[in-house]
Amino acid sequence: MTTRVLLADDQTLLRATFRMLIDSCDDMTVVGEASDGAEAVELARVHHPDIVLMDIRMPGTDGLAATSAICADPDLTATRVLILTTFETEDYVAQALRAGASGFLGKDVTTDTLLAGVRTVASGEALLSPTATRTLIATFLMTPDPGTQLASPGHLAELTARERETMAMAAEGKSNTEIAEALTLSPLTVRTHIYRAMAKLGARDRAQLVVIAYQTGLAQVTPPPR
């Protein structure tokens, strides 16, 4: 199955580079290009891409506002936003998570990392780049915006013990393969538990599931090292 990608960046040369890289892969294709956030929202509603590769800083409507609009659109529930920006700061990561982004990469990533990021976010596996760690999720949780609570602790009662266990390990940043090895399960079984937990809790993707794990107390914030 081909992953359909929408590019949103105000730099024409950069968009051309991304298009060349993505279109060179047999499993993904670029369906449109936007030079600002407003155009990104408009084209997302036209093309219904699997992934929007979104820059944060753009003229007019920026990437964060565009991400919020895309993620709030009921007709775009299958579209995930991968933020790609030079400004990989805690504040931007926190805002991107609040906006509904499913992934976050710095523009200094390698070609292989970028393409892997598109694939993994499209599959619901990825959350953040190595530099955007759980510490940044902690920043998001410790400075909540009104109305950002995704679920209450009581909602965890809807999960089985194994679903809670896999969800907690996902919140630690572990991949399905790592969880499978720790629990002596198959990666497919872990994936099933993760998806069932997402369905029961109304999580859009793995990113929201991780946030819910912290908000409900299932996972605990680890203070950053001094």
CATH code, domain carrying 95: 3.40.50.2300
pLDDT for residue 90: 58
Question: Which residue, 187, 89, 66, 182, is CA-closest to 136?
Answer: 89
What single-letter amino acid sits at 25? C
Tell whether 34 and 88 lie within a shared domain. yes
**Kind plus residue range of the DSSP H or E element containing 53:** strand 51-54
- CB atoms inside a 10 Å sphere around CB 97: 26
Tell whether 92 and 47 lie within a shared domain. yes
The CA distance from 90 to 177, in Å, is 28
The CA distance from 94 to 139, in Å, is 7
Angle at 162 between CA 81 and CA 174, to 5 degrees: 45
The CA distance from 147 to 81, in Å, is 21
Tell me the CATH number at 160.
1.10.10.10
Whether residue 138 lies inside any domain: the answer is no
Number of structural domains the chain divides into: 2
Tell whether 30 and 95 lie within a shared domain. yes
Whether residue 225 lies inside any domain: the answer is no
Q: Which two tokens stand for residue 127?
A: 């959350």
What's the Rg (C-alpha) of the chain? 17
Could you say which of 74, 100, 132 is where a domain stops? Answer: 132
Per DSSP, helices labelled H in 2-156 are 12-23, 37-47, 63-72, 90-99, 111-122, 134-142
Indicate left, alpha or beta for 48 from its phi (over 0: left) and psi (-120 to 50: alpha): left
pLDDT for residue 224: 47
pLDDT for residue 36: 94
The CA distance from 131 to 125, in Å, is 17
Tell whether 42 and 103 lie within a shared domain. yes
Tell whether 124 and 50 lie within a shared domain. yes
pLDDT in tens, the chain (226 residues): 899 999 999 999 999 999 999 999 999 999 999 999 999 999 999 999 999 999 988 888 999 999 999 988 999 988 999 988 775 555 677 777 777 888 878 777 789 888 988 988 887 665 555 445 455 565 555 555 555 566 777 889 999 999 999 999 988 777 788 899 999 999 899 989 999 998 999 887 777 788 788 888 888 765 544 4
Q: Distances from the Cα of 206 to the Cαs of 8, 16, 35, 60, 165, in angstroms?
A: 23, 30, 28, 30, 15
Owning domain of residue 170? 153-215
How many residues in total does the chain contain?
226
Whether residue 137 lies inside any domain: the answer is no
pLDDT for residue 143: 55
Q: Which two tokens stand for residue 114?
A: 């970028």
